[in-house]
Structure 1
Amino acid sequence: MTSIAAIRTDYKLRSLHESDVAPGPFAQFTRWWNEAMASDISEVNAMTLATVAADGTPSARIVLLKGYDEAGFVFYTNYHSRKAADMEANNKVVLLFFWKELERQVRIEGVIEKVDASQSDEYFASRPEGSKIGAWASPQSSVIASREVIEENVTELEKSFAGKEIDRPPHWGGYVVKPTLIEFWQGRQSRLHDRIQYILKGNEWKIERLAP
């Protein structure tokens, strides 16, 4: 049996130099995003969202990126969930992408706010019917007695919405993370990784190299 401490990978695929990167972080993210999309990575839009509760307790979970532009990075969730409570108490969050097939990470620090209701409505309308029902059926992060609670909710909602338009629940919608720092991490041999970050200074992005 292999020791946990002996598990290691030596990264060799690519390098990242200051001369390689775009002048701005969103253009650089788009370069890497397009390469990740072309690499057939499973759930390329999966990202870790880290939050901090009012009492200082950190928490992290995987959410799915559903859009981005120079305004920020967008995902959708239940406004009554634990992460939503954390973000209400502390609007500073971190997103992290790990694309192991490319030996890359992207870390995004920023502040979060809800997107406009119209944007949430538009995205909700594009979801499959099962996902729409699920948004209504789950009291996300609440303690429930059993799986049957959710299954019964789904059954009742399917009857209630039969033949009708399924509107977005008022407790469900989008958030946008507005970055103040974006770090691009490229794995290198012997743990001497390349780390280039863009940090917002006033209205301008400054490019810096970090030690691995």
Structure 2
Amino acid sequence: MELKLEDFRREYTQGGLDFADLAASPFEQFNQWMEQTIKSGIPDPNAMTIATVDASGQPSQRIVLLKHLDEKGFVFYTNLNSRKAQDLKQNPKISLHFPWYFLERQVKVCGVVEQLSAADVLKYFISRPRESQLGAWASHQSRPISSRALLMQQFEAMKNKFAKGEIPLPDFWGGFRVKPHQIEFWQGGAARLHDRFEYNLQAEGSWAIQRLEP
């Protein structure tokens, strides 16, 4: 059966976005939208797609969870041997995307990453549930594996290995801070006349805001 995807369409009518509505700082604006997203009750409000590029120039995307945000940037954690971490080692440029389509909103972030200190990573790692800590040890992220059964064997092996006491931080597990230079806020509009505002970081550290055509 042929899917008639061209027939799927709807109007975006939940509200507009005007320059007067915007905070001077994109971080403050993002926090406002994140708070509203959390209150809306949608699943995984901190889920974001991250895009990296490998050495051959091939882009790749995946979904991770935003775990911290302040004026320094957006923070996430991962296995440092994973595909995304290896991409970022060769090319620190990254893009984030928050797909809040239930609210007819999306946010795009462009920037570069810096690796977090071991102290910052450890602080977060020990806050994770014990099984998530074990999962970090059990998975050789992005490597091929023959079956889920083998993955569960690896998990059980780590569970037995660290049955007593605290689980140590793996030396192959870490985090990244995305330092943005551009952040765009998108609000859906009727007749596809969406509202788009782009914050661009200036040389002296301030943010310039411009409206983009939809």
**TM-score of the aligned structures, taking structure 2 as reference length:** 0.97
Partner of 1:204: 206
In the alignment, the residues of structure 2 paired with residue 99 and residue 128 of structure 1 have an alpha-carbon distance, to the nearest angstrom, of: 27
How far off its partner does 1:167 sit? 1.0
Map of 1:44-83 to 2, 5 A cutoff?
A: 44-83=45-84
Amino acid at match of 2:129: P
Across the two proteins, how many residue pairs are aligned to each other?
A: 212
How far off its partner does 1:163 sit? 1.6
How far off its partner does 1:148 sit? 2.2
Partner of 1:15: 16
In the alignment, the residues of structure 1 paired with residue 207 and residue 124 of structure 2 have an alpha-carbon distance, to the nearest angstrom, of: 30
How far off its partner does 1:113 sit? 1.3
In the alignment, the residues of structure 2 paired with residue 128 and residue 75 of structure 1 have an alpha-carbon distance, to the nearest angstrom, of: 16
SS in 2 for 1:22: coil
In the alignment, the residues of structure 1 paired with residue 206 and residue 156 of structure 2 have an alpha-carbon distance, to the nearest angstrom, of: 52
Partner of 2:144: 143
SS in 2 for 1:34: helix
CA deviation vs aligned residue, 1:91-110 (integer Å, no higher than 9, x gap): 01000001122110000000
Partner of 2:186: 185
In the alignment, the residues of structure 2 paired with residue 79 and residue 133 of structure 1 have an alpha-carbon distance, to the nearest angstrom, of: 16
Map of 1:164-183 to 2, 5 A cutoff?
A: 164-183=165-184
Partner of 2:90: 89
SS in 2 for 1:126: coil
In the alignment, the residues of structure 1 paired with residue 136 and residue 111 of structure 2 have an alpha-carbon distance, to the nearest angstrom, of: 26
How far off its partner does 1:154 sit? 1.0
- Runs of at least 5 residues in structure 1 that lack an aligned partner in the other structure: none
In the alignment, the residues of structure 2 paired with residue 145 and residue 41 of structure 1 have an alpha-carbon distance, to the nearest angstrom, of: 35
CA deviation vs aligned residue, 1:102-135 (integer Å, no higher than 9, x gap): 1100000000111111111011001111111100
When the two chains are superposed, the root-mean-square deviation of aligned CA atoms in Å is 1.0
How far off its partner does 1:87 sit? 0.5
Amino acid at match of 1:76: Y
In the alignment, the residues of structure 1 paired with residue 115 and residue 174 of structure 2 have an alpha-carbon distance, to the nearest angstrom, of: 8
Amino acid at match of 2:9: R
In the alignment, the residues of structure 2 paired with residue 9 and residue 132 of structure 1 have an alpha-carbon distance, to the nearest angstrom, of: 43
- Runs of at least 5 residues in structure 2 that lack an aligned partner in the other structure: none
CA deviation vs aligned residue, 1:121-177 (integer Å, no higher than 9, x gap): 011001111111100000000112222221111111111111221011110111110
SS in 2 for 1:15: coil
SS in 2 for 1:144: coil
In the alignment, the residues of structure 1 paired with residue 48 and residue 31 of structure 2 have an alpha-carbon distance, to the nearest angstrom, of: 15
Map of 1:89-168 to 2, 5 A cutoff?
A: 89-168=90-169
- Large movers: runs of 4+ above 6 Å: none
